[in-house]
Amino acid sequence: MKLKKLVPLAAALLCFNTSTAFGNDLVWKNDLRTRFLNNETVIMEINIRSFNSKDLNGDGFIQENLGETRGTFLNAIDRLDELKNLGVNTLHILPITPSGKLKALGTAGSLYAISAFDSLSEDLYDKNSKLTLDEQAKKFIQEAHKKNIRIIVDVPACGSYDLYLERPDLFASTSSGEPVVPSDWTDVRLLSAGTEDKIDPNVYSLYKDFVKYMIELGVDGIRADVAHSKTAAFWKELISFSREKDPEFMWLAESSESWHDPISPYAVFTPYDKLLEAGFDGYYGSFSNLKNWKTSKEFYTQIKYTLDETKKFSNKKSVIGAFTTHDEVSPILLKGPQLSDMIIWLNSTLPVNSYYVDGFQTGDDYYYKNGNKLAPESNTDDDIYFTHNGQIDIFNLSRKPEGNNTDLKNSFLLGNNVKNSILPVLNTGSFTLLKTNNQHIFAYMFSNNSKKVITIGNLDFESCEKTIVRVPKFNPKKNKLLPIKISEMPEIKIGKLIMNLKAGEITVFIIND
In the predicted model, is pLDDT for residue 439 greater than 80?
yes
pLDDT score at 25: 53
3-state secondary structure of 32: helix
Average confidence (pLDDT) over 73-102: 98
In the predicted model, is pLDDT for residue 14 greater than 90?
no
Q: How far is the C-alpha of 434 from the C-alpha of 333, rounded, in Å?
A: 30
Report pLDDT digits (tens) over 456-480: 999 999 999 999 999 999 998 888 8
What mean pLDDT value characterizes the chain?
93
In the predicted model, is pLDDT for residue 20 greater than 50?
no
Helices (H) and strands (E) in the chain, counts: 14, 18
Report pLDDT digits (tens) over 245-272: 999 999 999 999 888 899 999 999 999 9
Q: How far is the C-alpha of 115 from the C-alpha of 182, rounded, in Å?
A: 16
Domains of the chain: 31-423 (3.20.20.80), 429-512 (2.60.40.1180)
Report pLDDT digits (tens) over 35-61: 999 999 999 999 999 999 999 999 999
Q: Which residues contact 502 (CB under 8 A, 6 or more apart)?
A: 338, 458, 464, 487
In degrees rounded to 5, what are phi and psi of residue 407?
A: -65, -40
DSSP state of 122: G
Instruction: Please give the C-alpha separations between residue 176 and each of 172, 173, 180, 266, in angstroms, as whole numbers.
Output: 11, 8, 10, 12
Q: What is the pTM assigned to this prediction?
A: 0.94
pLDDT score at 320: 97
pLDDT score at 374: 98
In the predicted model, is pLDDT for residue 18 greater than 50?
no
Q: How far is the C-alpha of 178 from the C-alpha of 390, rounded, in Å?
A: 34
Instruction: Please give the C-alpha separations between residue 209 and each of 118, 120, 160, 262, in angstroms, as whole numbers.
Output: 7, 13, 18, 26
pLDDT score at 10: 46
In the predicted model, is pLDDT for residue 351 greater than 90?
yes
In the predicted model, is pLDDT for residue 323 greater than 50?
yes
Helix, strand and coil in the chain, % to nearest 5: 35, 20, 45
Report pLDDT digits (tens) over 202-258: 999 999 999 999 999 999 999 999 999 999 999 999 999 999 999 999 999 999 988
Q: Which of 150, 155, 146, 114 is nearest to 36 (CA)?
A: 150
